[in-house]
Each structure stands twice: as C-alpha cells, then as structure tokens.
Amino acid sequence: MYIQLLRKKGGSRPHPWNHRPPPCPSLPYLGIALFLLPSACRRAEPERAPQATAAVQDTGFRGTTVPLHRQPRAPGKQELLRAVRADSQPGFDRVVFEFAGDGLPGYHVEYATGPVVRCGSGDPVTVAASGRLVVRFEPARAHDQVGGPNPTIVPRAMAANLPAVRDLQIVCDFEGQVEVVLGVPAGAPYRVLELTAPARLILDVRHGPAP
C-alpha cells in the first residue's frame, strides 16, 4: 500500500491462450503423413509470462533511536521537497522524501522529548501514536513561488495507518526549513538511507524492537 502526498502510452495480437493453430493437412500417403505430421500439427506453445523476482527486503536491520544529523552539502541552496510517500515493508515501514534536484539538503532526525509546535502559529502538534519522530530538512522548502507560495505537497497531514507509521504531518515550511513529524511507537528503531536520481531520503521504522 502506497500513500503519496503530492499534486498530481499497433495492432493487437491474439492472446496466446486463445490462438488456434491451422488444422492438420490431409495427406494421401501415410509415409508422407508420418514425415510431416510432427511439424504440421504442432500446437502453438502458450507464451509464458516472465516470473517476477521478489525483492529481497532487509528486515534484520537493528536501527537506532539516537539523533542522526547530516550537514548540507550545498549550503545556501534550498532543495525543493516535492513528494512524500509511505508504505509498509516486511518488518518495517518506509517513508520516502523525494526532492526535485540532484542533491539532498541537510537533515536531522530525532525523537522529540518535549512539545512539538507548528513554526508559524506555535500551536501544539498531536500525533496518533506514543512517539514523535521529527525529521527536519535545512535549507529546504515544500512550496514553489509560481504565482505565489504554492505548497508542493497537499495535504500537509496524512493518516498513514501503517503498523509503525501511524500518521505524518508537515508542521513547518518557513525560512528555509521543512519539518515533518511522524507518529510512531515510542522508541521504535529507525534508519536512514540516501538515494539519487532523483534525490531521496529514505526513513525506515521497524515494526518492533531491534533483533
């Protein structure tokens, strides 16, 4: 199940199972018939769909509960967060933060120990779980300036209802900082991965304690 938060190809050929081969020719001589019968009456073999190879999932990662931090590689350049997706994998839930450029901004991932508030209003943020995992990107933004400050991710809050990630909310998109809060079980181990083309930060949260 994928949850995606963002603004949102001849002629036909007969199906191999329904294809009927031409009837066997009537041959006057048995010898000739025996010689030609194997090739003339051979039925078309149904095409076999290629077997899908199941992706190997890393369900044994231990993860961590301590803060993770990475400095921006291009200070001063605001990377545009254009999509957030969440789905469940065997043993963990995965949240993907996708950026429009080729690089990632700096980021900080940490369990909140105090109140989490919205950066504009100061209103407290509540989540649908016992733990609040905060992901902060800087310098970054989750809006464009075409005709005004238009959010690139709508809605700003989503009930994921996954085993570990219960919900997620964008609580700040202001002055080069984007902050996302995930409602997860308190103390659930997590890890981060970086991918390119396009630039993505992967956040995996275990369904249970580390092995």
Tokens standing for 1? 């199940």
Domain ranges of the chain: 64-206
**How many other β-carbons are positioned within 10 Å of the β-carbon of residue 101?**
14
Note the pTM of the prediction, 2 decimals.
Answer: 0.72
Tens of pLDDT along 55-98? 445 667 999 999 999 999 988 899 999 999 999 999 999 999 99
Q: If we measure between CA atoms, which residue out of 202, 166, 161, 162 comes closest to residue 182?
A: 166
Tens of pLDDT along 30-58? 344 444 444 444 444 433 333 433 344 56
pLDDT tops 50 at residue 194: yes
The maximal CA–CA distance of the chain, rounded, in angstroms, is 96
Confidence at residue 101, expressed as pLDDT on a 0 to 100 scale:
87
Tens of pLDDT along 4-22? 454 434 444 433 333 444 4
CA distance 188 to 56: 22
Residue pair 178/138 in contact by the 8 Å Cβ criterion: yes
CA distance 79 to 100: 7
Tens of pLDDT along 18-32? 344 444 444 444 344
pLDDT tops 60 at residue 118: yes
Query: Which CATH fold would you assign to the domain 64-206?
Result: Immunoglobulin-like (2.60.40)
Residue pair 126/112 in contact by the 8 Å Cβ criterion: no
Confidence at residue 58, expressed as pLDDT on a 0 to 100 scale:
66
CA distance 65 to 190: 7
- CA distances (Å), origin 210, targets 104, 135, 145, 205: 28, 21, 43, 10
Mean pLDDT of the chain: 80
SS3 per-residue string spanning the chain: CEEEECCCCCCCCCCCCCCCCCCCCCCCCHHHHHHHHHHHCCCCCCCCCCCCCCCCCCCCCCCECCCEEECCCCCCCCEEEEEEEEEEECCEEEEEEEECCCCCCEEEEEECCCCCECCCCCCECCCCCCEEEEEEEECEECEECCCCCEECCCCCEECCCCCCCCEEEEEEEECCEEEEEEEECCCCCEEEEEECCCCEEEEEEECCCCC
Confidence at residue 211, expressed as pLDDT on a 0 to 100 scale:
79
Which residues does residue 140 pair with via DSSP β-bridges, in sequence order? 79
CA distance 171 to 208: 26
Tokens standing for 169? 């909310």
pLDDT tops 50 at residue 104: yes
**How many other β-carbons are positioned within 10 Å of the β-carbon of residue 204?**
22
Confidence at residue 64, expressed as pLDDT on a 0 to 100 scale:
97
pLDDT confidence of 154, banded at 50, 70, 90?
confident
